[in-house]
A and B are shown apart, each in its own frame.
Chain A
Amino acid sequence: MADLILENISKSFGEVKALIDVNFSANCGEIHAILGENGAGKSTLVKILSRAIKEDSGSIKLFGRQLFLKTPNDAINEGISTVYQDLSLIPVLTVAENIYFNKSPQNYWKVNSKKILNSKMLDIFEKFGVSGIKPNTIVEELSSSEKQVVEIIKALYRDPKVLILDEPTSSLTADKVEWLLKLIKNLAEKGKIVIFISHRMPEVKAIANIVTVFRNGMNISTMKMSETNSDELVSLMLGRGKIDFFPNKESFIKEEKVILETRNLNIGNVLRNINFKLHVGEILGVGGLVGQGQIPLFLSLFGIIKAKGQIFIDGHEKNIKNPKDALDNGMALIPEDRNIEGLIMSMTIRENITMPILKKIKSYGLINYKKEKSIVLNYINMLKIKATSMESLVSTLSGGNQQKVLIAKLLSIDPKIFLMYDLTKGVDIGTKVEIFNLIKKLANEGKGIIYYSTTIDELVNICDKVMVMRDGEIVEILDGKNLNKENILKASIGEKIISITS
């Protein structure tokens, strides 16, 4: 029997099934890698094991004994330590205070002692071979790579039996990655169970003995690393499900005219040397794993955050300082979170749609209600927004209809360039089809569209070209025959793509 066994674990978030009847096991001394696309269920599984969230059903056994974990602290006491993807450090405390958060050493007077703490910390740093980080530095002042190191030490110093690492290398510098991989190998040799989630195939191949692939909340396959290869793993991650609700992928006659161009956009480490050209009538996809710089790219194009570099619209360099400048230059943004950034929930459909154009529909200083109504009615009919009237509050609409209101709002300003960030999130299939057709129609009318999606299927079927981002860079621009699911995923996880030159 395996040392760590997860049996029949299921977990749903509302309607979404994150894990469906998952079985998973791992043994002492092995480095067990978990692979899968965005939203495949890897992080959910890890969080259940560390008790950050509670499973709906199923059981966990460690060394033959069933665990009944109630709090994350229970998991830690059972010897399960986790290095999270989103850092769990408290920024205003020092390195040592963070690591010893619960059990700060005390002196004779039962008062937390910084002196003892810092000297203990130095011992631990020496034991794990960490250099260059001082115990009494405030965490805020560390670089993101150093923070990740502290996070790793925080999980390690307790001498866990099970060590879970959820994408630990994504923010580490190259030398620290090497340090970590060595450390993990060392721990496995000492008989620990190491569970390692990474999107970076070379790392996984370098250290993992066993690999498990997740897809759509299910454990698809568990294999020995030596008995498989990247091509097999990629195809397991993607699956072969055919989805045929996309519009026909016809090749449009593209104009050569460039509508938007960026030259060397940079924001520290999050966005690096972004160069691309968006043509008239083109749908340019943005792909890659979550959090590889796609959000900063959209925000900087729309003037919400400042990036170094140049943005050209219709061949003229523009200085876009805020969303108003972006709108004035013919750009429109579907933001990441429509509830928080896109729509005003307590206002009506009419008020939301006309918000950006109020100044344009004035007559004699007053908002022309007749004009406003006819504009809104036109969009309600065109996009088939289902609501009792245009005076319905947006908060009463379904996700799909809310997204349509947001689209109507953007259409009303008649932009030349659409920045669409995860447009189909939380949208039902019927509405998706309508939205896809609308995007095609907009492209045919000569608009330029930048389309980000977490769903690889959408990128392949909707876009003319897809640029894949990794670590804040564009690592690959795929088009024509090279634009397929395998290549997008491979480029996302740092594998070589198969290039067909036509």
Chain B
Amino acid sequence: MKLKLNYLIPYIVLFIIILVIGFLQHNVVNLEWLGIKTDSILPLAFATVGQTLVLLTGGIDLSIGGIICITNSLEAIKMTNNPINIIMFTIGMLLLGLILGAINGLIIVKIRLQPFIATLITWSIYGGIALWILPTDRGNVPKSFISALLARFGGIPVSLIIILILIGWWVYLQRIPFGKYILALGSNQKAAYLSGVNVDRIKIMVYAMSGFFAACAGVYRTAQVASGSPTAGNGFILTTVAAAVIGGTSLAGGEGSIIGSIIGACILKLLGDLLVFSGVSSYWVSLFQGLSLIIIIAIVSVSNLIKSRRKIRI
């Protein structure tokens, strides 16, 4: 397969951002910095991975906001400082995410609601449950839980290992039928259905996975912030979509990759950092972030345009 320029753009952009950060701040870009960054990126990366799977099938998942809120809130207030309790509780949270996500899938498949509407509804419900569990930001997070998730193995952060695992999982996904079915569903659901693909089951599985990854994000955020917030997840909803799009995922479905999405998440996070470094007032960060996003997405679309022009000429 030929390596196409537009697939490379997110990587080039990320590389340039890191270069500029290194240039602006000497001796900052090192292993320790990498650890801090991957720690801060991981929740978004998790949520983006889930969102990407859904986007690839041609859907969208707004409810990840609510799922992050619920898992973050529960994890922050209900855990005790007992290793077995911590492990069991965390696994419980991940399963909860899986179930809440599967509910999305069931609503979309059985009631035939648009994914946007279905997950808008469940976002509101899940968010409401989170507020009921934890009306204000607080938490009592066990120290051992925090240190386990933010640990370093010989300088290598757990978060980096997890990101590498996610990348490996995507490579695996492309080698099994399930991965192909996801892409097929997003490109042409009718053709996939007529090829004997169990469209409904794949959809439910994909939304369940998205819920699972949102729960991962919620759990990891608990360790990162050492607190719980019933509204923490809401900022993730559109950011995950933006990260996926920057990483080359098509909102129409059928095109994109989890690796690209993780790169997209890195770009979003580091771009914010860079703007703060370069002295942009924090009131202006959002504006500049938006402007930079337009530029990045424009570059990607222009190269797509050139590609399609070339195709027409043939």
Question: What residues make up the interface of A, taking CB atoms closer than 8 Å to B?
Answer: 302, 304, 322-324, 326-328, 333, 335, 340-347, 351, 355-356, 358-359, 362, 365-367, 369, 391, 396, 409
Name B255's closest neighbour in chain A (CB-CB).
Answer: A346
**A205, B264: Cα distance in complex, Å:** 70
Q: Which A residues touch B190, using CB under 8 A?
A: 340-341
- Contact yes or no, B177 A359, CB < 8 A: yes
Q: Distance (Å) between the CB of B181 and the closest chain A CB? A: 8
- Contact yes or no, B176 A355, CB < 8 A: no
- Contact yes or no, B1 A355, CB < 8 A: no
**Given A333-B194, A367-B177: A355 in contact with B188 (beta carbons within 8 A):** no
- Contact yes or no, B176 A365, CB < 8 A: yes
**A259, B129: Cα distance in complex, Å:** 57
Q: Which B residues touch A344, using CB under 8 A?
A: 184, 187-188, 191-192, 254
Binds A, one of B64-72, B103-111, B195-203: B195-203
B193 at the interface (CB under 8 A from A): yes
- Which of under 10, 10 to 19, 20 to 34, or 35 or more describes the interface residues of B? 20 to 34
- Contact yes or no, A367 B184, CB < 8 A: no
The count of A-to-B residue pairs whose CB atoms sit within 8 angstroms is 69
- Contact yes or no, B177 A347, CB < 8 A: no
**A218, B218: Cα distance in complex, Å:** 70
- Pick from A302, A327, A343, A367: contact of B191, CB under 8 Å: A343
**A320, B176: Cα distance in complex, Å:** 27
Chain B 256-271 residues near chain A, CB threshold 8 A: none
Q: Which A residues touch B183, using CB under 8 A?
A: 347
**A338, B193: Cα distance in complex, Å:** 13
**A369, B255: Cα distance in complex, Å:** 21
- Contact yes or no, A356 B191, CB < 8 A: no
- Contact yes or no, B194 A341, CB < 8 A: yes
B313 at the interface (CB under 8 A from A): no
Q: Distance (Å) between the CB of B299 and the closest chain A CB? A: 21
B180 at the interface (CB under 8 A from A): yes
What 4 A-B pairs have minimum CB-CB distances, sorted nearest first? Answer: A358-B177, A327-B196, A324-B196, A366-B175
Name B172's closest neighbour in chain A (CB-CB).
Answer: A366
- Contact yes or no, A324 B198, CB < 8 A: yes
Q: Distance (Å) between the CB of A164 and the closest chain B CB? A: 35
**Given A344-B188, A367-B175: A351 in contact with B194 (beta carbons within 8 A):** no
- Pick from A347, A356, A396: contact of B196, CB under 8 Å: A356
Q: Distance (Å) between the CB of B254 and the closest chain A CB? A: 6
Name B194's closest neighbour in chain A (CB-CB).
Answer: A323
Q: Which B residues touch A324, using CB under 8 A?
A: 196-198
Known: A322-B193, A367-B177. 4 other contacts (CB 8 A): A341-B194, A344-B254, A358-B177, A365-B176
Name A346's closest neighbour in chain B (CB-CB).
Answer: B187
- Contact yes or no, A362 B176, CB < 8 A: yes
Q: Distance (Å) between the CB of B198 and the closest chain A CB? A: 6
**A283, B196: Cα distance in complex, Å:** 24
Q: Which A residues touch B196, using CB under 8 A?
A: 323-324, 326-328, 356
B311 at the interface (CB under 8 A from A): yes
Q: Which A residues touch B180, using CB under 8 A?
A: 351, 355, 358, 367
- Contact yes or no, B311 A347, CB < 8 A: no
Q: Which B residues touch A340, using CB under 8 A?
A: 188, 190-191
